[in-house]
């Protein structure tokens, strides 16, 4: 790509690759030029490259290779490198996704250079400022020139903080990808479940990676005991292990807990689609479970996806063996499709691209 791109998309962590994929395709369809900048926050093949390949995401124009580190250090390194990259490439807009340190760094670097920031998945709130993501979201929403909200609740959250201009309720881009890939999951069923010895509806998928859960020794112990309880009393558990917890797992877990490496998008979606329940602390997976009509048990005291709890598709449970076993046993999809008012119609990416196109046209008319 030569010349000045219209959009610089900043990504860095696994969930952002998933969100960027449908939007990148929509931008390309609309003929809007985009370059991807990868901060390098996630760098293991399974956490990064596997997603670019599996989702046919264009290769990043630049990889800043910041790697891991304490939050301030990691975000600071990104900020400094993103500033130079924005100055060099001169995009008209910077597009950021979600709530990771890469999101915050992208938004801050752009805003300081007066480049308008556009935030996809804006307005989410857990109201827990101890979550690093909550801090990242709040700051990013306030810096953004345009906020793309996935839900009505997200729009209301923004309104309550005085953000009312250039807020667009577009639906959830993760639903776009879920719809696009739904038909292919049936074909993958036997190749994904077979080697793990799993049968449809005969297992549970678990993912745990939040520092609030993994870095507090007594909470982590209770989580391990809860997963063990499910595996011993309810059904086998398949658990794709985030690298953050790789070295924290005891060696005496039962064989009915099947530890596997982080799964690429389509494999993970297949596991979720055919599971009897999902146990997670991930934000994205709470929604993906709902998109695949699989009930979800969330090991957190609160969630930014409150509408799922209100509709009875997700329950919040303290990590206690008895409670978690009970919740997984009771978990049941209530029947019917995901209510369409929750996350839109599966065309959020096209809506985003049209709005960007309009703003681009306005900026050309009235520079
Ligand atoms: C980040 C996001 C979180 C998101 C998650 C998705 C922030 C604050 N958090 O959390 O919102 O849900 O990504 O996975 O941005 N590591 C590796 N290889 C990698 C990446 C990480 O080994 O490719 C290990 C390192 O030990 C690292 C730790 O995981 O220190 C945490 O990685 P980091 O990117 O800081 O945060 P995540 O927990 O992945």
Q: Which two tokens stand for residue 296?
A: 């979800």
Index of the ligand 1 atom closest to the CA of residue 98:
11
Q: What residues contact 133, with CB distance under 8 A and at least 6 apart?
A: 98, 99, 100, 126, 283
pTM of the model: 0.97
Index of the ligand 1 atom closest to the CA of residue 99:
11
Distance CA 353, CA 358 (A): 9
Is the pLDDT reported for residue 136 higher than 50?
yes
Give the pLDDT band (50/70/90) at residue 364: confident
Q: How far is the CA of 249 from the centre of ligand 1 (A)?
A: 17
Runs of H (alpha helix) within 40-131: 49-54, 71-89, 101-112
pLDDT at residue 86 in the model: 98
Closest to 305 measured CA to CA, from 286, 290, 320, 289: 286
What average pLDDT score do residues 315-325 get? 98
pLDDT at residue 367 in the model: 67
Q: Which of 11, 133, 208, 244 to mutate to test the pocket of ligand 1 (most atoms within 8 A of CB)?
A: 244
Q: Which two tokens stand for residue 188?
A: 């993958």
What average pLDDT score do residues 48-67 get? 96
Is the pLDDT reported for residue 1 higher than 50?
no
Is the pLDDT reported for residue 3 higher than 80?
no
Distance CA 36, CA 9 (A): 5
Q: How far is the CA of 297 from the centre of ligand 1 (A)?
A: 22
Which 3 state secondary structure label does DSSP give 260? strand
Mean pLDDT across the chain: 96
Q: Which residues of 121-144 are buried (b: 16+ CB within 10 A; e: fewer)?
A: bbbbbbeeeebbbbbbbbbbbebb
What average pLDDT score do residues 330-345 get? 90
Distance CA 323, CA 326 (A): 5
% of the chain residues with pLDDT over 70: 99
Q: How far is the CA of 30 from the centre of ligand 1 (A)?
A: 33
* 242 counts as catalytic: no
pLDDT at residue 253 in the model: 95
Instruction: Encode pLDDT of 141-152 as tens digits.
Output: 999 999 999 999
Q: How many CB atoms lie within 10 A of CB 28?
A: 13
Q: How far is the CA of 355 from the centre of ligand 1 (A)?
A: 31
Instruction: Encode pLDDT of 161-196 as tens digits.
Output: 999 999 999 999 999 999 999 999 999 999 999 999
Q: What residues contact 61, with CB distance under 8 A and at least 6 apart?
A: 1, 35, 36, 37, 89
Distance CA 100, CA 327 (A): 29
Index of the ligand 1 atom closest to the CA of residue 44:
23
DSSP assignment of 297-349, as one string? EE-SS--S-HHHHHTTSEEE--S-HHHHHHHHHH----SSPPPHHHH-SS-HH
pLDDT at residue 365 in the model: 80
Strand partners, 315: 297
Instruction: Encode pLDDT of 21-46 as tens digits.
Output: 999 999 999 999 999 999 999 999 99
Closest to 134 measured CA to CA, from 94, 165, 104: 104
Q: Which two tokens stand for residue 342?
A: 């929750």
Instruction: Encode pLDDT of 235-289 as tens digits.
Output: 999 999 999 999 999 999 999 999 999 999 999 999 999 999 999 999 999 999 9
Catalytic-role residue among 38, 42, 209, 242: 209
pLDDT at residue 335 in the model: 83
Give the pLDDT band (50/70/90) at residue 362: confident
- Residues near ligand 1 (Cβ within 6 A): 13-15, 41-44, 47, 68, 99-101, 132-133, 209, 242-244
pLDDT at residue 117 in the model: 98
Runs of H (alpha helix) within the chain: 14-29, 49-54, 71-89, 101-112, 132-143, 152-160, 173-193, 211-214, 217-233, 265-274, 283-291, 306-310, 321-330, 340-343, 348-365
Which 3 state secondary structure label does DSSP give 147? strand
Q: How far is the CA of 13 from the centre of ligand 1 (A)?
A: 7
Ligand 1, atom 2: nearest CA belongs to which residue?
A: 100
Contact present, 236 and 204 (Cβ < 8 Å): yes
Closest to 248 measured CA to CA, from 210, 286, 296: 210
Strand partners, 316: 298
Ligand 1, atom 13: nearest CA belongs to which residue?
A: 13
Sign of the alpha-carbon dihedral angle for 100, 105, 108, 114: negative
What average pLDDT score do residues 69-78 get? 98
Index of the ligand 1 atom closest to the CA of residue 209:
38
Q: Which helix (H) or strand (E) holds 115?
A: none
Is the pLDDT reported for residue 2 higher than 70?
no
% of the chain residues with pLDDT over 90: 94
């Amino acid at each position: 790509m030569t010349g000045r791109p219209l959009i610089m998309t900043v990504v860095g962590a696994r969930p952002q690759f998933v969100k960027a994929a449908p939007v990148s395709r929509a931008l390309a369809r609309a003929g809007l030029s985009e370059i991807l900048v990868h901060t390098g926050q996630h760098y293991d093949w399974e956490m990064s490259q596997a997603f670019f390949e599996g989702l046919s995401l264009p290769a990043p124009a630049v990889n800043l290779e910041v790697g891991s580190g304490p939050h301030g250090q990691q975000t600071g390194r990104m900020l400094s490198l993103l500033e130079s990259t924005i100055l060099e490439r001169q995009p008209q807009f910077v597009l950021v996704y979600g709530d990771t340190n890469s999101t915050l760094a992208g938004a801050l670097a752009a805003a300081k250079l007066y480049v308008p920031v556009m935030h996809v998945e804006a307005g989410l709130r857990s109201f827990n400022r101890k979550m690093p993501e909550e801090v990242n979201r709040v700051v990013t929403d306030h810096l953004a020139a345009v906020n793309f909200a996935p839900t009505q609740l997200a729009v209301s959250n923004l309104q309550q903080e005085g953000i009312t201009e250039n807020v667009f309720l577009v639906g959830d881009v993760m639903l776009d990808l879920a719809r696009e890939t739904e038909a292919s999951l049936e074909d993958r069923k036997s190749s994904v479940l077979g080697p793990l010895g799993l049968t449809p509806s005969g297992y549970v998928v678990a993912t745990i990676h939040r520092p609030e859960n993994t870095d507090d020794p007594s909470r982590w112990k209770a989580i391990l005991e809860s997963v063990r309880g499910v595996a011993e009393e309810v059904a086998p558990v398949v658990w794709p292990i985030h690298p953050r917890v790789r070295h924290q797992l005891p060696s005496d877990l039962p064989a009915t807990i099947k530890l596997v490496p982080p799964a690429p998008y389509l494999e993970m979606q297949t596991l979720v689609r055919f599971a009897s329940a999902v146990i997670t602390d991930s934000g994205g997976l709470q929604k993906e479970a709902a998109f695949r009509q699989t009930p979800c048990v969330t090991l957190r005291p609160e969630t930014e996806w409150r509408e799922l709890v209100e509709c009875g598709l997700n329950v919040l449970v303290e990590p206690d063996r008895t409670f978690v076993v009970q919740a997984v046993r009771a978990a049941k999809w209530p029947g019917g499709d995901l209510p369409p008012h929750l996350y839109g119609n599966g065309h959020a990416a096209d809506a985003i691209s049209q709005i960007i196109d309009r703003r681009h046209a306005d900026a050309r008319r009235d520079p």
